[in-house]
Structure 1
Amino acid sequence: MSLNQWFEKGISANDYINAMEKNKEGLLHIKQSFQLPNDEAFFENMKDKNIRAIVLTEDWCGDAMLNIPILLNFAEKIDMEVRMLLRDQNLELMDQYLTNGTARSIPIFIFINEEGEEVAKWGPRASEVQRFVDETRSSLPPKDAADYQEKANELYAGMQKEFQQNVNFWSFVYQSIKSALQKAYQ
């Protein structure tokens, strides 16, 4: 399928949010709390591009909870239509956007132009957030340890709380998305 066809297959952001069973409260908290910076020249430039976004996601994903509301606030500012595709139901597309060539990490944002050509890709994390995740995960015991699952559950719950509260992370995500789009239009 073409990217235009994938876009048409996707559901609206509102339909996705309304159907969420996990992380909805966190996503809405970030969406309502995050304020875009005063970046009017960038916003005007992006409005002129008439881009759209395809988002590969799942509602259980903490990274999606963090990143999607930042994208949606940006999308509203520049009148960009966003469509959501659930990763596990769209592996044919997901497998074209593997992280490090192997991982089905999400979310992935695929920005397309009016002709349906990819102009930029972003995800699954801003580099600063990736460093935090890597450092946090380094404290886990080995996977074969008796308490691994308990510790992992505690760690991921703590990370999700941090994603919801750390406004610096929100700015890192925005700046990372902005950078990817600026590179596309240099």
Structure 2
Amino acid sequence: MMGLNEWFQKGLTRDQYINSMTKNKDEMLSIYEGFTLTDEDKNRLESLRAKELRAIVLTEDWCGDALLNNPILLRVADAAGIDIRFVLRDQNLELMDQYLTNGTSRAIPIFIFIDQEGNEVGVWGPRAPEMQALVEERRAALPDKDAADFQEKQMEMYKHLVASYQKDGSIWKTVADSIIGTLFI
């Protein structure tokens, strides 16, 4: 079994990942361009530079949660001097299956923060708790799974969520706060 240092080395750099994206690239970059950390967050994250943390990001470009969370992580990483490598979930289930959500779900993205020796120092994902609560609230409003319009209503719900992910600065701040909180545990 590969250690986290080997997984990090195997991953794609930021530019390699972005250049390989075929879905949600413009949307992700739009969030990256639109989001800025507060001065307080930048100062706090600056204190992490000496730790030389790294992050392995389990992701796929089609994922709506990755569209939101990955660009926020990139801004956090910029401020904290965290080197990132992207590992595609569907091609790397051996790693993914070590980070299942609720022990069963291959939900992404998952951010695995490691030190220079490859020791795990924190794990985040697939959503900020507040975003998970929002998704659960919206899912609860859907018709029964057996209903004829369930699929249509579910797709509509996800479309609205992804639209809010791309425009709502308060969502971006919520995600940033959650990721930053993981780094200071």
Q: TM-score, normalised by structure 1?
A: 0.95
Question: Which contiguous aligned blocks of 4+ residues in structure 1 show a shift greater than 2 angstroms?
Answer: none
Q: In the alignment, residue 61 of structure 2 is paired with which amino acid?
A: D
C-alpha contact (below 8 Å) 2:59/2:88 kept by paired residues: yes
- Percent identity between matched residues is 54
Which residue pairs with 1:58 in the alignment? 60
SS of the residue 2:184 aligns to: helix
SS of the residue 2:48 aligns to: helix
SS of the residue 1:26 aligns to: helix
Unpaired segments ≥5 residues, structure 2 = none
SS of the residue 1:110 aligns to: strand
SS of the residue 1:164 aligns to: helix
Q: In the alignment, residue 21 of structure 2 is paired with which amino acid?
A: M
Deviations 1:109-149 (A, max 9, x none): 00000001100000011111111111111121122221111
Q: How do 1:33-182 and structure 2 match up within 5 A?
A: 33-38=34-39, 39-182=41-184
Which residue pairs with 2:4 in the alignment? 3
For 2:164 and 2:43, locate their aligned partners in 1 and report how far apart those are by CA, in whole Å: 31
In the alignment of these two chains, the number of paired residues is: 183
The Cα of 1:42 is off from its aligned counterpart by: 1.6
Unpaired segments ≥5 residues, structure 1 = none
For 2:127 and 2:153, locate their aligned partners in 1 and report how far apart those are by CA, in whole Å: 23
The Cα of 1:40 is off from its aligned counterpart by: 4.1
SS of the residue 2:47 aligns to: helix
Worse overlay, 132-141 or 3-12: 132-141
Q: TM-score, normalised by structure 2?
A: 0.95
Q: In the alignment, residue 20 of structure 1 is paired with which amino acid?
A: M
